[in-house]
Structure 1
Amino acid sequence: MIELQPPTLAPEVWLNYRTAAVRQLAFALASPNILSSLPPELQIQHAFTLHADIFWQQHYLNYQQRLAYLDLHPEALHNFLNQLKSTRLGLRFEMLMWFWLLDRDYHPFELLGHSIQIIDGAKTIGELDFLLRNHDTQQIEHWEVALKYYLAEADFSLPHWYGLNRSDTLARKLNHFSQKQFQFEQALNFPIQQRFAVLKGQLYFPHLYSQNIVDRTPHWVNRARRLGTWGNHIPENTADFYRLQRHEWICQNVQASSLTNQWWTDGLYFQATTSEFYMYRAASYLSYPPLHVE
């Protein structure tokens, strides 16, 4: 199997913590965006940007003391997350970001509003995840946050990255950012001066591939984030692979949460000995024939 990770892979500092929710909070903050830049083929209607990896690294360093405390005393984080009744991972990720943004002692962002509905007459035309005042720049920022898992097919170009629901594609999500979510000039009577997409999660390449395919990896895929693989077959070496529980898609728990599998079903699997993430999908998921080593 060809190694997908670069030698400069950022340290996965979220694994330093023992409490599951704190590991997830550390991941939400410290992990880089899954994209290092916007794909050039994306048609930009309303401009937005991605934070650089160093942005998240620095804010993690500023928050380390708080995370260490929460690892020993997680009650405040647990109580905050318990407000969420939905099981959707994207909403849990948004709650984790919200928790951090409310911790004003550790960053320059003043939270002006969350889940702000924009209403035109009797019609809701949009909703903003976060509206912030950056006290370092004195600018008003609009952040949209998303936790996404996309699987690469075909030539790995922008149109060929699919979510677990095949109607959820990377291209569709980026277009939704540009055409709809970042269309607003103001909110809560504040002029919006900066727009940022916080797009985290994980990307997956086909498990059976050749070096020339890897060499065609788009430059906008962020190689500072650990990449996974996916396939519709059970790997030959299944030793130590176990199926991650839903919340562990954000960050796996310290201890394996399920037994190593004698049978496989759709889901995300992790092998501790190699730190490999493998997304198993039924053959019916594919729009292309199964890939083979060239």
Structure 2
Amino acid sequence: MFELSTLHPATLATHTNYAPWEAYQRPYVRDLAYVLACPNVLTEWLDFAPHQNTHIVSVHSASFWQQQFEAYEQRLEELDTTNAYQDLTRYLLTRPSPNRLGFHFEGLLSFWLEDGFARKLHPYETLANNVQLYNGKQTTGELDLILHNHDEGLIEHWELAIKFFMGSAPFAPVNWVGINSNDNLQRKMTHMQTKQFRTVWVDTENHGQVKIDKRYGIIKGRFFLPMNIANSSHSDWPTWLAPSFPMHEWCDKSDKACLATINMVKLRRAHYIEWFTKRSFYDSYDKCQPQLVWEDDTPPATGLYFENGRPIVIYPRQPDETNDSP
């Protein structure tokens, strides 16, 4: 397994149990804490479209998200221990497609924005969300969040993405791919910059037309490193990768030596929502299910697993026909 002394600080963070969201018991509260405490994967925005005359895109620092989490901790405790939990569950379950991970992420962040602003825990007033973009009568996309930053007097556009990417050397953005192998970090950033972030004026229902002053790309989630990463050098680790971003492991499903290091008796297939945070109540439920058995000719299916609570993605190096994308 990993030799901690050889790893990047991002990996050390996860393997030394840096996970403040695990302190919460109720699933949606745990997810909400994860959404706040998890930093942006980026320390800076990377411009992959320098010749398209696009706008400047910013990212919030890891310390920004830590401050937001700390300012909201008392409210998280209230949601986790009282009937106030119903405020969160009702909000999330009345939103469109609450069981899709991207919409769940957006719902959690939107709840924090609205609830936290009402409680004066941050300066961001939501002016509009899911603003449709049109070319004539044809819908061409949408903007996630339009906010009024009352501290700075600015109208901000926040575009959101929740990503669970497997990395391979040399760990450039194009080398971080999803279980759907057509999805990678560079492609996502390019799309955000050349599509959503081109907008200047936005029509809102209650605040009229507003002009965007600043744009933020918010990309969170989890990254998974190859299980043999201890044999790699990190001297050229990318400076754009936030040191405290949650890092875990992935294993090539055709690599029998790699699979042999996994305790299959302890392996549990993750339920869909557990790409966010682990649900401990599934542990006892799955004890009643048939045990996973791996044979040489039938490796485990592509997806996320837990081995004694440790997240592991099993993934084919070649595109999987099932494209079991989170």
Q: TM-score, normalised by structure 2?
A: 0.79
Distance 1:75 1:224, change over 3 A: same
Matched, 1:14 2:21: yes
1:76 aligns with 2:101: no
Instruction: Give the drift of 1:240.
Output: 3.7
Candidates 262, 265, 282, aligned match of 2:316? 282
Q: Identify the residue that residue 292 of structure 1 maps to in structure 2.
A: none
User: Following TM superposition, by how much is the alpha carbon of 1:261 offset from its aligned partner in structure 2, in angstroms?
Assistant: 4.0
Q: Segments of 4+ in structure 1 off by > 6 A?
A: none
2:70 — aligned with what?
Answer: 61
CA contact (8 A) 2:155 2:213 kept: yes
SS of the residue corresponding to residue 13 of structure 2 reads coil
Matches within 5 A, 1:158-177: 158-177=173-192
Deviations 1:258-284 (A, max 9, x none): 347444322112334xx6421101354
Amino acid at match of 2:13: L
Runs (5+) with no aligned partner, structure 2: 204-208, 254-258, 295-299, 321-326
**1:5–1:226 Cα contact (<8 Å) kept:** no
SS of the equivalent of 1:178 reads helix
Aligned residues: 283
> Pairwise mapping of residues 70-149 of structure 1 onto structure 2 (< 5 A)?
70-72=79-81, 73=83, 74-83=85-94, 84-85=96-97, 87-103=99-115, 104=117, 105=119, 106-149=121-164
1:17 aligned partner, one-letter code = Y
Q: Which amino acid aligns with 1:113?
A: A
Cα deviation per residue 1:109-151 (whole Å; 9 max; x = unaligned)? 1100010112343133331100000111110000011100111
Of the three residues 226, 233, 238, the one matched with 1:218 is 238
Kept after mapping to 1: 8 A contact 2:180/2:319:
no
Q: Identify the match of residue 270 of structure 2 among 244, 247, 252.
A: 244
Q: Distance in 1 between matches of 2:40 and 2:293?
A: 34
Check the 8 A contact 1:118/1:187 in 2, yes or no.
no
Post-superposition shift, 1:210? 4.8
Contact 1:204 1:227 in 2 (8 A): yes
* Structure 2 residue matching 1:203: 3-state secondary structure: strand
In structure 1, the gaps of 5 or more residues are 287-294
Aligned-pair identity in percent equals 31
Going from structure 1 to structure 2, the CA distance change for 1:214 and 1:269 (only over 3 Å counts) comes to farther
Q: Which residue of 2 aligns with 1:291?
A: none
Q: Shift in Å at residue 21 of structure 1? A: 0.8
112-121 vs 79-88, which moves further: 79-88
How far is the alpha carbon of 1:154 from its aligned partner?
4.0
CA distance in 1, matches of 2:102, 2:183: 13
Residues 214, 22 of structure 1: alpha-carbon distance in 2 compared, 3 angstrom cutoff:
same
Alignment of 1:25-64 (within 5 A): 25-39=32-46, 42-44=48-50, 45-64=54-73
Of the structure 1 ranges 116-125 and 18-27, higher mean CA displacement relative to structure 2 is found in 116-125
Mapped to 2, the partners of 1:181 and 1:28 lie a distance apart of: 22
Does 2:216 correspond to 1:204?
no
Q: Pick from 232, 244, 251 the counterpart of residue 231 of structure 1.
A: 251
Equivalent residue for 2:210, pick from 190, 196, 199: 190
SS of 1:182's partner is helix
Distance 1:201 1:58 in 2: 18
What is the rounded CA distance, in whole Å, between the counterparts of 2:3 and 2:166 in structure 1? 17
Bigger Cα displacement from structure 2, 248-257 vs 59-68: 248-257
Task: Return the alpha-carbon distance in structure 2 between the equivalents of residues 154 and 70 of structure 1.
Answer: 41
How far is 1:34 from its partner? 1.8
| C-alpha distance in structure 2 between counterparts of 1:235 and 1:99, whole Å | 43
SS of residue paired to 1:35: coil
Q: Which has the larger radius of gyration?
A: 2
Distance 1:210 1:231 in 2: 13
When structure 1 is superposed on structure 2, of 166-175 and 247-256 the one drifting more is 247-256
AA paired with 1:186?
Answer: W
Contact 2:49-2:194 within 8 A present in 1 as well: no
Alignment RMSD (CA, Å): 2.3
Contact 1:141 1:194 in 2 (8 A): yes
| Structure 1 residue 216 displacement after superposition | 3.2
In structure 1, what is the Cα distance between the partners aligned to 2:13 and 2:316? 30
Q: Residues 5-28 of structure 1, C-alpha deviation per residue, up to 9 Å, x if partnerless?
A: 528738421111000111001111
TM-score (norm 1): 0.87
Alignment check: 8 A CA contact 1:242 1:256 kept: no
* 2: CA distance, partners of 1:76 / 1:119: 34
Q: For 2:246 and 2:171, how far apart are their aligned partners in 1?
A: 17
- Shift in CA distance, 283/9, structure 1 to aligned 2, threshold 3 Å: closer
